[in-house]
A and B are shown apart, each in its own frame.
Chain A
Amino acid sequence: MNALEKRINSAAGLLELTKRAWRRSTRLQAGALLVGFMAAIAVLGPYLAPYPSDGMGVVPQNAAERVGKPPSLEYPFGTDSLGRDVLSRVLMGARLALAQILLVVSLSLALGLLVGVYAAYYRGPVEVVLNYAAEVFLAIPAIVIALALRLVLGQGLHVVVASLVLSWWPWYARTSYVYARAVAEMEYVLLARLAGVPDRVVVFRHVIRNVLPLVLVQAITDLGSVLLEASAINFLGLGLPPDAPDWGIIVQNGFKYIASMPWISMFPGLFILATALGFSLVGDSLREEVDPKMRRRWKLWF
């Protein structure tokens, strides 16, 4: 147990940490701004979108006269090959993007945390089996799982979420296993066990509670990486159906028209980049704050 863990062993500690980092780091502020912007679009998207039905993928009535318009005041991001307003589709996409990544990260965090903590708590054969399972799943990337699921289950949100959860949980299992090993050695855990508190209660009340904040910091950074993978899966047509307002799918819609209508793919790609960057900036600066080594007084010796 080092200073790192002591620093944020409670929710209040995590909040305090965030406050301190906020004052210190402009990168955290920039990241929070990007994430906040995307969250605002996710909430307000349907009200901001000038053509909400276009956004949901419906081909408009007057499609013929709207096909492939370059960005203008009327259509700020242009229109796609079916005459749909790209701005509306991108705005409606924020909600779907955030829903996907929050679902994936929370599910894999819950699964990985349980596996990692139980492996560290029970040791012995349980530890070997659980860690081995994590190793196996680490070796299979989400896209390949998505391919198999797509062929069996067809298109849909469940394919994206299931494939990403299956490939992401081992990372949380690994991280929480490392932290839980240290926590499980603590005296308060030993005392609770000696006092006859049931294992389930010890794990949830003492071990998980102390491991969770540390894993959460990692999870914030991962939200961005998950978005990148989810978009790639959707871009390849493995996940959501081709009319869904997902950014990866809108990029795919413009793929064939990259020479004549580059704006279709450009804008949703920029939104993916901005969102992923936002989460990385926030997660990165929080981690810097957690790790005191990174904040040491700095002076080069030459």
Chain B
Amino acid sequence: MLSRNLAATLELLAFAYLIGAPLGSLLGVLAALRRGARLDGFLQTLGLALASTPTFWLGMAIFAALLPSGFAPYGRVSTGLALATGFQAVTGFYLLDALLQLNLPVFLDVLARLIPPALAVAAYPLGVCLRISRALVADALLEEYVRAAVAWGVRRRVVVWNYAFRAALPGLVQVAGIAFAYSLVDAMVVEYVFGREGLGRLLFDAITLSDFKLAIGLLVLVATFYLVVNTLADVAQALIDPRVKL
């Protein structure tokens, strides 16, 4: 039971980070290039606002905004559609399952139900990555080696991405790793809002049924998740940053 729900939560979380982290980093670079300009101030405030938005409330707002369209992204997949097309959950990651079974209707249905909650979860990493990437890239752009590269006539695109952003990448990965662990809780709350199965559902069951064993199991699972994510972030750090050795 735990593993299936864990897969559901991880799917949501990973998808949200695929949206939030790259977009945030990109906007951060944009802000750093316009340092001190109006766009910079706007983007930085936007980043703070996104990181300060209560996720459960954002999820409800997205849900409410979709209601007039007649499509309620409730649950993970339409049961009728899954039965009709013979969809089977193998790994628990429904997007992956549908893709492997070449089941296009279910894939689209899962995707349509995944995007709205993922957007709510993505707000936090977007804001955090924007701020960190802005700070780190802006710092890197002031370094001597950037000045030297420009003096050598290196193209602007190369200077920005291969020099400045490359220098900011290790710090960015580190912060994104911490944020990823933190977003687990956000994902759980958003799952509850969108009626998806997952760790959030388990959390809610533990409350309503006063199931102490479930609560302890959840606690151990979440703590393990934190440790695993932290370790992975350290490994990624060592791969990216030549100064860090495992």
* Interface residues, chain A, with chain B CB atoms under 8 Å away: 26-27, 138-145, 147-148, 150-151, 224, 228-229, 231-232, 235-238, 248, 251, 255, 258-259, 262, 265-266, 269, 272-273, 276-277, 280-281, 284, 293-294, 296, 298, 300-302
Contacts and interface: CB of A to CB of B under 8 A. Distances in A.
20 contacts: A26-B41, A144-B223, A224-B52, A231-B56, A231-B57, A235-B56, A251-B56, A251-B60, A262-B64, A265-B60, A269-B54, A269-B57, A269-B58, A269-B60, A272-B54, A273-B54, A280-B51, A281-B48, A298-B35, A301-B151
A139 B226 CA distance: 5
A234 B58 CA distance: 16
Nearest to A254: B60
Q: Which 7 residue pairs are nearest across A and B when measured between Cβ atoms? A: A269-B57, A276-B52, A139-B226, A277-B52, A301-B150, A302-B150, A139-B223
Given A237-B207, A300-B141, A232 B55 contact: yes
A147 B203 contact: yes
A141 to B, nearest CB: 5
Given A228-B54, A258-B60, 18 more contacts: A141-B185, A141-B222, A141-B226, A144-B185, A144-B223, A147-B206, A147-B218, A228-B52, A229-B185, A235-B56, A237-B207, A248-B54, A248-B56, A265-B60, A273-B49, A294-B135, A301-B147, A302-B156
Contact of B56 (A232, A238, A266): A232
A108 to B, nearest CB: 16
A29 B40 CA distance: 17
A280 B57 CA distance: 19
Main secondary structure of the interface of B (DSSP, over half): helix
A144 B217 CA distance: 10
Given A276-B52, A280-B51, A148 B216 contact: yes
A186 to B, nearest CB: 28
B51 A301 contact: no
Contacts of B141: 300-301
Nearest to A288: B135
B84 interface: no
Interface string B187-230: 01100110000000001101100101001101100110011001
Given A273-B49, A284-B48, A232 B189 contact: yes
Given A236-B189, A236-B207, A277-B49, A298 B36 contact: yes
B204 A236 contact: yes
A249 B130 CA distance: 30
Contacts of B218: 144, 147
A132 B63 CA distance: 42
B57 A251 contact: yes
Given A27-B41, A251-B56, A144 B222 contact: yes
Given A139-B223, A298-B36, A301-B146, A273 B206 contact: no
A269 B61 contact: yes
A73 to B, nearest CB: 24
B53 A273 contact: yes
B1 interface: no
Nearest to A30: B45
B67 interface: yes
Nearest to B221: A144
A141 B181 CA distance: 9
B83 interface: no
A225 to B, nearest CB: 8
Contacts of A139: 223, 226-227, 230
A142 B60 CA distance: 22
Contacts of A293: 139
B54 A151 contact: no
Interface in B161-202: 182, 184-186, 188-189, 192-193
Contacts of A144: 185, 203, 215, 218-219, 222-223
A151 B210 contact: yes
Given A141-B184, A273-B54, A151 B215 contact: yes
